[in-house]
Amino acid sequence: MISISLCMIVRNEENGLGRCLDCVKDIVDEIVIVDTGSTDRTKEIAAGYGAVIYDFEWIDDFAAARNEAFSKATKEYILWLDADDTIEEIDQVRFKNLKETLSPQYQSVTMPYNLAFDSEGKVTTSLRRNRLVRRDCGFQWIGPVHEYLAVAGYTFDSDVCITHKKDKVHTDRNLRIYRGRQAKGEDFSPRDLYYFANELRDHAIYEEALEYYEKFLQTGQGWVEDNYQACLKMAECHGHLNNREEKKKALYRTLNYDIPRSEFCCRLGEEFLQDGEYQRAIYWFEQAISLPKRATLGLQDMTSTTWVPHLQLCVCYDRLGQYLKANYHNETALFYYPTHPSMLHNRKYYKDVLGESFSELFKVS
């Protein structure tokens, strides 16, 4: 069985830290906490779990703080979490099994990071991250903000999920860090250009966001997943700016980096649906449904392969007057999302239009 050090950086995390540490207290062998200036009960809570606590002066550099935490670890492997992360009970069981069976040949273990959920708690957005690494490899964090762990060697893709439960209001902290670096005339790496653009987009500064997405793509050095997402996000920015044609061009630009993906198909289908070109919209929504699931470390939108394209197909067929097909796709969408209010409304509508016997016949659930 391997031994594990949990390494965290925290600041004023009294609301979520106890929940986080509760879920790992029976998994890890050591808890290392680097505090960057808490003024609440964070340190007291950490001490209650036997954590070794270190103070670190905040210098607007997340990688520096995480590397400091990693430097204090003493066990074979290092696990990193944020205070608003948790591990659900089923994943705790999986993690304990992983701890007992992991081969020492692996330098890193990736785990799905579940980021967003629907009203029923089903995962809608997820990505994989290098989450557990061998301490003797000396892997380092890179980047003052939106930092990443640079790993190499053999990697094991685990089924243990980390669940993100954000408990703080979104702030402009990261944008301020980038603005400070920008004011100093610092040269941004391709990754910085991409994440700076994301921060600008998140704060509705769309025109400048588009400028930095373009700068990022023009480097030709971005990770394919970031390239793909940059195109989708450029399309989103153009949408906010009411630039319909530029929005479509940005969507098509994703094809420079990969074959069509479900996210692309759904968004392009929405454009045709908006233009009343229902047959073309149907083609792309059907493509979204039929595409195979991708194995990637990149962001995955689960809704674009399940209920969203079916709901949009329902709309398309309804407008074409093909109510049996519309009802079928609405019921299929409800199979994935049984409590969605719009689809429940549609169910009542098609029962009236088709008669209850027809509605029951075409249920998927």
* Integer Cα distance of 231 and 335 in angstroms: 31
Please report, rounded to a whole number, the percentage of residues in the chain having pLDDT higher than 90. 92
Does the domain made of 266-365 have the CATH classification 1.20.1070?
no
CA angle, residues 29, 103, 295, in degrees to nearest 5: 105
Which CATH number is 171-258's, of 3.90.79.10, 1.25.40.10, 3.40.50.2300, 1.20.1050.10? 1.25.40.10
DSSP 56-73: ----S-HHHHHHHHHHT-
What amino acid is encoded at 164 in this protein? Answer: H
What amino acid is encoded at 256 in this protein? Answer: N
Please report, rounded to a whole number, the percentage of residues in the chain having pLDDT higher than 70. 97
**pLDDT for the residue 298:** 82
* Integer Cα distance of 103 and 88 in angstroms: 24
266-365 shares the fold of 171-258: yes
Task: Answer yes or no: is pLDDT of 282 > 70.
Answer: yes
Residue 127 burial (C-beta neighbours within 10 Å; 0-12, 13-18, 19+): middle
**pLDDT for the residue 365:** 47
Cross-strand bridge partners of residue 123: 117
**pLDDT for the residue 355:** 84
Q: How many CB atoms lie within 10 A of CB 115?
A: 17
Domain boundaries, the chain: 4-164, 171-258, 266-365
**Both structure tokens of 142:** 């890179």
What amino acid is encoded at 287 in this protein? Answer: Q
Q: Tell me: the pLDDT tens digits for 167-180?
A: 777 789 999 999 99
Q: Which residues contact 262 (CB under 8 A, 6 or more apart)?
A: 287, 288, 289, 291, 301, 304, 305, 309
How confident is the model over 7-24, as a mean pLDDT?
97
Q: How many CB atoms lie within 10 A of CB 159?
A: 12
**pLDDT for the residue 297:** 75
Letter string b/e over residues 1-10, b meaning 16 or more CB atoms within 10 A of that residue's CB = ebebbbbbbb
**pLDDT for the residue 131:** 98
pLDDT band, very low/low/confident/very high, at 313 (cuts 50, 70, 90): very high
**pLDDT for the residue 294:** 76
Q: Tell me: the pLDDT tens digits for 127-170?
A: 999 999 999 999 999 999 999 999 999 999 999 999 999 877 77
Backbone angles phi, psi at 113, to 5 degrees: -110, 105
How confident is the model over 6-25, as a mean pLDDT?
97
Residue 265 burial (C-beta neighbours within 10 Å; 0-12, 13-18, 19+): buried
Hunting for tokens 């954590």 — which residue is that? 51
Task: Answer yes or no: is pLDDT of 289 > 60.
Answer: yes
* Integer Cα distance of 199 and 196 in angstroms: 5
Model confidence pTM above 0.85:
yes
**pLDDT for the residue 171:** 83
CA angle, residues 271, 274, 280, in degrees to nearest 5: 60
Q: How many CB atoms lie within 10 A of CB 153?
A: 12
Helix (H) or strand (E) holding 22: helix 17-24
Provide the 8-state DSSP code for 158: -
* 29-43, 80-94, 284-298, 319-333: least confident range: 284-298
* Integer Cα distance of 229 and 201 in angstroms: 13
What amino acid is encoded at 78 in this protein? Answer: I
**Mean pLDDT score of the chain, rounded to an integer?**
95
Q: Tell me: the pLDDT tens digits for 23-82?
A: 999 999 999 999 999 999 999 999 999 999 999 999 999 999 999 999 999 999 999 999
> For residues 287 and 306, is the Cβ–Cβ distance under 8 A?
no
* Integer Cα distance of 2 and 99 in angstroms: 6
Please state which CATH number belongs to domain 4-164: 3.90.550.10
Q: What is the CA radius of gyration of the chain?
A: 23
Q: Residue 109: which of 139, 146, 88, 143 has the closest Cα?
A: 139
* Integer Cα distance of 196 and 213 in angstroms: 9
How confident is the model over 118-128, as a mean pLDDT?
92
Higher pLDDT pick, 16 / 357: 16
